[in-house]
């Protein structure tokens, strides 16, 4: 059975069309709010290791703040190359807490 860990309180999630970094144990993840849909992906851009959670949302994609690579927060795919993917993490909400499966 998958183990879900507390990521944050629901009230701490990023505002609509923003991204934010969260630390769970020794892992940092990017949580993106695209038009009210919350997704969690690896925080490290595959290009040069940029922090995706410090980026912005543009056209429904998370934009890396270092070099502008764009990532789909639902699939983890890079916009320019669907074969390049960051990991997507399942989320669920229980009693006001957001839980993540790492």
Place 2 in a pLDDT band, splitting at 50, 70 and 90: confident
Is 75 a member of any domain?
yes
CA distance 33 to 16: 5
SS3 82: coil
Q: Tell me if 24 is assigned to some domain.
A: yes
Region 62-71: mean pLDDT is 98
In a domain, 42, yes or no: yes
- Which residues form the domain of 86? 14-91
Within a domain: 8: no
- Domain with 32 in it: what CATH number? 2.102.10.10
pTM score, whole prediction: 0.95
Q: Is residue 99 part of a domain?
A: no
Evaluate whether residue 28 is within a structural domain. yes
Residue 102 located in a structural domain: no
| DSSP structure string for 25-74 | TTEEEEEEEETTEEEEEESB-TTT--BGGGSEEETTEEEPTTT--EE-TT
Residue 82: pLDDT over 80 = yes
Q: Compute, in degrees rounded to 10, the torsion defined by CA atoms 8, 26, 72, 31.
A: 20
**Average of per-residue pLDDT values in the chain:** 97
Per the domain annotation, does 38 fall within a domain? Answer: yes
| Number of structural domains in the chain | 1
């Amino acid at each position: 059975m998958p183990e879900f860990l507390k990521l944050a309180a629901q009230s701490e999630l990023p505002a609509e069309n923003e991204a934010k970094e969260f630390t769970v144990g020794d892992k940092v993840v990017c949580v993106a709010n695209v038009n009210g849909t919350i997704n969690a992906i690896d925080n490290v851009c595959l290009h040069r290791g940029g922090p995706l959670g410090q980026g912005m949302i543009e056209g429904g994609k998370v934009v890396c703040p270092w070099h502008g690579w764009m990532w789909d927060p639902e699939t983890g795919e890079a916009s320019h190359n669907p074969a390049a993917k960051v990991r997507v993490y399942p989320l669920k909400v229980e009693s006001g807490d957001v839980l993540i499966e790492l």
